[in-house]
Structure 1
Amino acid sequence: MSLAILSVAILLLVGVVLRQSLRPLRVLFIPGSVVAGFVGLTAVTLLGRLGGEVVAAKTSELNETLAGWPGPLIAVVFAAMMLQQSGGSPRPHDDSTARRVGRQGLMVWIIVLGETMVGLWATWLLIQPLYDVPNSFGMLIETGFAGGHGTAAAMGQVFASEQVGLEAGLDLGLLMATCGLVYGVVSGIFWINVASRLGWLRDESTQSASASVSQQPKPIGYQTTSPDAIDPLLLQIVWIALAVGAGMLMQAVVLGLAGQIDVVMGAGAASDAVGADAELSKRMSASNVMDFPLFIYTMFGGWLVRRVLRQLGQTHRIDSMTIQRLSSTAMEILVVAAITSLKLSAVAALIGPFSILFVCGAIWTAICLMVISRWVLPREYWFPLALINYGMSTGTTATGFVLLRVVDPELKTGAASDYALAAPLSAPFIGGGILTIALPLVLLERVSIVWPATVIAAAVLVLVGVGRHLGRSD
């Protein structure tokens, strides 16, 4: 463990130095943690192959240790996510606010649900005839593109579960997230140039900012209680720890009850079954159905802790900014550990179907940016808002705002405000939300891929139709 901690600390420092020293990394806005992860992956791979037996053994031990970090860290991230207080909008509301926000929320559903649709159809028609992959393989586009590295780490546990059986899901999801991050920035700049030549940008929005914005350091660990009682930063760690502990307790109780249900329902009577009957019995058991990853329970743990504090009138004890910083810290470490411990052999074995999904996802997000967004989003600033969605759907929301600053450097349009207001309409459900996690566990591996692919495609078409109807009323 000490070697792992020291290694991650060194890798993070190396990643930050390289990110600040190499212009291409800065231009593409590649986070230092991602750079650190790939430096670690390269070092682990070379040392494992070229080092002696002792070095190879230590490298393998380090790799196994880091591979166990993403699970607990993503549990912390999800617990902190539910503890934080949602922010408000910097823009005043008017009569059209609800309509604009509704259309933006609808557009996010079209994009992200469409990524699942495209992934399932590509898996059904192009991949499964050639490769033996589960139906949930099609979720990799949404997992990596819309979800990013955090969702990829979380979904890695879902993919590896007995219900799905895709052991390489974590590695493929992280690779999809990394490729999407780079692709989103590069292709986004390309589409901005295309839009400029088509006359879709206002003159004032294409001008660069004349002066750089000074960044003031923000304090962390605001005093939500007297420092004589407890350090303010430690108090925020306590809230996260309580949320994680509550989640672990929930998981233990649910699995215990599921085991009792199996005993009462006579699940053990099927132990003599063999082959398909044995597999069916195992999958239908309550213990298997309710065996969700820990982060799902810690998410509810965070909600429970905040709910209790609200009932006690003590929500002011939670400093959302500090909670967010602690969550980001866990996420940075998670990214380094997850990428460093990537199993390249697992990725290489499925690079063909992975490439098919990546190309399909790239085509879909481009269609959403250049075509569907014009139909659905507010006409006066549809392209700046579409750029935020494009960044979100190919990497991270931060990527979207990077692209927005190219066409709207002073944020004069209402794009940023509308995006923030509409986030609660989609974030809890898709792009790493409840539906993203539930689909593989509850549905995709229990029915033929034909049905979810068809139903989701129909839903996307309906949403596009509704959005176009609303857009015509401008």
Structure 2
Amino acid sequence: MQDSFHGVIAFALLALMLWVGSQLRSRLSWLRASLVPASIVGGLIGFLALSLDLLPGYSPADFTALTFHFFTLSFMSLCLTGGGRQDAPGGGGSIVRGGLWLTLAWSISLGMQGAIGFLVVTGYDAVTGSDVSGFLGAIVTHGFTQGPGQALTYGTIWETEYGIANAAQVGLIYASLGFLMAFALGVPLARRYLTKGLNANRASRLDDNFRLGFFTRAGDDEGNQQAPGMGRMVSHPGNLDSLAYHLGLLAIAYVITHLWLTFVQGIIGNASPFGINVGVLFSHNLFFLHGLGVCVLMRMVIDRLGLSHRVDDETLKRITGSAVDFMVVGTLMSIQFAVLYALLAPILLVTVTVTIATLVGCLLIGRLSGNLGPERTVTSFGCCCGSTGTGLLLLRMMDADFSTSVPKELAFFNLAIVVVNLHILMIFAPIVPSLTPAIYLLVFGGTAIALIACIPLMLMWGRHGRASSPSSGWAEGVPTQGHAAAQSDSASASSPTISKGAAS
């Protein structure tokens, strides 16, 4: 039995690092001020412990598989969660228009980051005489805009199918640095908007609960948020614990997805129509994408049969949130110090260049988007550097109770980015190393340019929509009546379940 404990203790170490991170966040004033999540704090501690060989018998490789499966679970539990109220505060057009601005920011970043990363590494090779694959720069877009799960997924495919050495490791490194950049620049940006009073939700503020990382006791009389509930019991505890019941739903989806992939793999074999290795698209490395579809169908069936009362969305949200926490700490602990050290210069060059370009792009698109522009700026920057969850956390600084329409826009955004970027996410991303540099830049850079060309159309739509409403003046530092109205217009908005864009 002793041999069976290795994987269990690896999971226990992830949980331990999360606990240590939460305690340090609550006790160290500079960590409270930084608002860095416990998962990042704990992940960095775990990375240092592994690098210094303070966890004998364990290496970064022991946490890679756990990271992949927690990422997969976070997506699948997200898609089992119901959509909640679909009525859009302030009018459906406003939600769609705002969601499209967020979609533009993310989609432009997806193509732009990939092209920039590839060009930076290629330029680095030309200057230094190195022989680093340009695709180790290209994978930055999957680490930044999509997060550790997809970076690991596509990196593994590139590494095993196309021989791009260390692609998975470099993807995880970019994902980790993306989280750090999102908070290092996103938090000061959100604070700047708060200081200038540019946020629409005037009741939003950073209370002690937010800084401490823990809720105070119920009945707090200093304006701190009272601890919310974790959901309702669906199954009677005399029969089955409700949490175990919901995990069982996810288990059904996991088994169905596995059977589906195994079945399709047996049919298509090594088929490669038009030179595209179709088997890659149906490999278990893309388990999350197929699992997402299975869970969407499962939820549709559940709702159609009138069994939605047998599923508690809040419980599924807690599973999603917990999986994301474990995924982040696992991502940092999966980094191999030797790979980071060997490729430190090109990785930092790519990270800095991509971060600056992304920040400038999000600032410009946020400024052009009109009312709620500051909220969209910090949200899109978080989504384009960390995850949709990171964007939601930054948004919460400016819209604590999610009373604006931006959370609903994020719900629309999660669907729209899949549709807009379907050609990249489903066709080109898994087979990137098989493309010539010219084709790669045409696909990724061309997508970014084509979407930038859509901005004038969005502005025309916005001007038409504002013909009967006050214009936005947030860019000049003076919140207008129209901007302030955004709060009251969307006061009934409820927060949707948000995760990294699915192909987030």
TM-score interval, normalised by the smaller of the two chains? 0.7 to 0.9
2:456 maps to 468
**Which of 436, 439, 452 is the matching residue for 1:451?**
439
- Trace 1:427-438 onto structure 2 (pairs within 5 A): 435-436=424-425, 438=427
Amino acid at match of 1:441: P
Q: 1:182 to 1:287 in 2, by over 3 A?
A: closer
- Trace 1:16-415 onto structure 2 (pairs within 5 A): 16-47=22-53, 56=56, 58-60=57-59, 63-88=60-85, 91-94=88-91, 96-97=93-94, 98-127=96-125, 130-134=129-133, 136-163=135-162, 165-191=163-189, 201=198, 212-220=223-231, 222-259=232-269, 287=279, 290-293=282-285, 294-375=287-368, 377=369, 379-404=370-395, 414-415=405-406
Amino acid at match of 2:387: T
Report the Cα distance in structure 2 between the residues aligned to 1:448 and 1:179, rounded to whole angstroms: 28
86-95 vs 177-186, greater mean Cα deviation: 86-95
* 8 Å CA contact retained: 1:115, 1:142: yes
* 8 Å CA contact retained: 2:42, 2:329: yes
Amino acid at match of 1:72: H
Amino acid at match of 1:393: C
Report how far residue 132 of structure 1 moved.
3.7
Report the Cα distance in structure 1 between the residues aligned to 2:191 and 2:47, rounded to whole angstroms: 35
SS of residue matched to 1:224: coil
1:278 maps to none
1:422 maps to 413
Amino acid at match of 1:387: V
Amino acid at match of 2:53: L
List per-residue Cα deviations over 1:133-155 (Å, max 9, x = no partner): 44543443322222234444444
Report the Cα distance in structure 2 between the residues aligned to 1:151 and 1:288, rounded to whole angstroms: 14
List per-residue Cα deviations over 1:221-257 (Å, max 9, x = no partner): x333454543222211111001111111112112222
Report how far residue 209 of structure 1 moved.
7.0
Could you tell me which runs of 5 or more consecutive residues in structure 1 were left unpaired when the two chains were aligned: 49-54, 266-282
2:430 maps to 441
344-353 vs 410-419, greater mean Cα deviation: 410-419
Report the Cα distance in structure 2 between the residues aligned to 1:461 and 1:209, rounded to whole angstroms: 38
Report how far residue 289 of structure 1 moved.
6.4
**Which of 18, 42, 46 is the matching residue for 1:12?**
18
Percent identity, aligned pairs only, is 21
List per-residue Cα deviations over 1:260-311 (Å, max 9, x = no partner): x66xx9xxxxxxxxxxxxxxxxx97665664341333333332343344345
Amino acid at match of 1:451: I
Report the Cα distance in structure 1 between the residues aligned to 2:118 and 2:340, rounded to whole angstroms: 19
152-161 vs 406-415, greater mean Cα deviation: 406-415
Amino acid at match of 1:257: I
Report the Cα distance in structure 1 between the residues aligned to 2:36 and 2:397, rounded to whole angstroms: 17
Report the Cα distance in structure 1 between the residues aligned to 2:246 and 2:356, rounded to whole angstroms: 43
235-244 vs 34-43, greater mean Cα deviation: 34-43
* 8 Å CA contact retained: 1:188, 1:390: yes
Q: What TM-score do the two structures reach when normalised by structure 2?
A: 0.74
Q: 1:290 to 1:457 in 2, by over 3 A?
A: same
Q: What TM-score do the two structures reach when normalised by structure 1?
A: 0.78
Report how far residue 330 of structure 1 moved.
2.7
CA RMSD of aligned residues (A): 3.7
SS of residue matched to 2:228: coil
Report the Cα distance in structure 2 between the residues aligned to 1:189 and 1:423, rounded to whole angstroms: 23
Report how far residue 463 of structure 1 moved.
2.0
Report the Cα distance in structure 2 between the residues aligned to 1:64 and 1:320, rounded to whole angstroms: 34
* 8 Å CA contact retained: 1:74, 1:153: no
Report the Cα distance in structure 1 between the residues aligned to 2:13 and 2:206, rounded to whole angstroms: 40
Amino acid at match of 2:428: L
List per-residue Cα deviations over 1:194-237 (Å, max 9, x = no partner): 7799x8947996995796441323124x3334545432222111
Q: 1:116 to 1:85 in 2, by over 3 A?
A: farther
Report how far residue 258 of structure 1 moved.
3.1
List per-residue Cα deviations over 1:340-361 (Å, max 9, x = no partner): 2321111222222212211221
Report the Cα distance in structure 1 between the residues aligned to 2:366 and 2:331, rounded to whole angstroms: 34
Report how far residue 425 of structure 1 moved.
1.1
Report the Cα distance in structure 1 between the residues aligned to 2:263 and 2:131, rounded to whole angstroms: 36
* 8 Å CA contact retained: 2:103, 2:417: yes
SS of residue matched to 1:30: coil
SS of residue matched to 1:215: coil
Report the Cα distance in structure 1 between the residues aligned to 2:171 and 2:107, rounded to whole angstroms: 20
Report the Cα distance in structure 2 between the residues aligned to 1:193 and 1:151, rounded to whole angstroms: 30
SS of residue matched to 1:380: coil
Could you tell me which runs of 5 or more consecutive residues in structure 2 were left unpaired when the two chains were aligned: 1-5, 208-221, 464-504
Amino acid at match of 1:236: H
Report the Cα distance in structure 2 between the residues aligned to 1:381 and 1:194, rounded to whole angstroms: 15
Report the Cα distance in structure 2 between the residues aligned to 1:394 and 1:304, rounded to whole angstroms: 30
Report how far residue 408 of structure 1 moved.
5.5
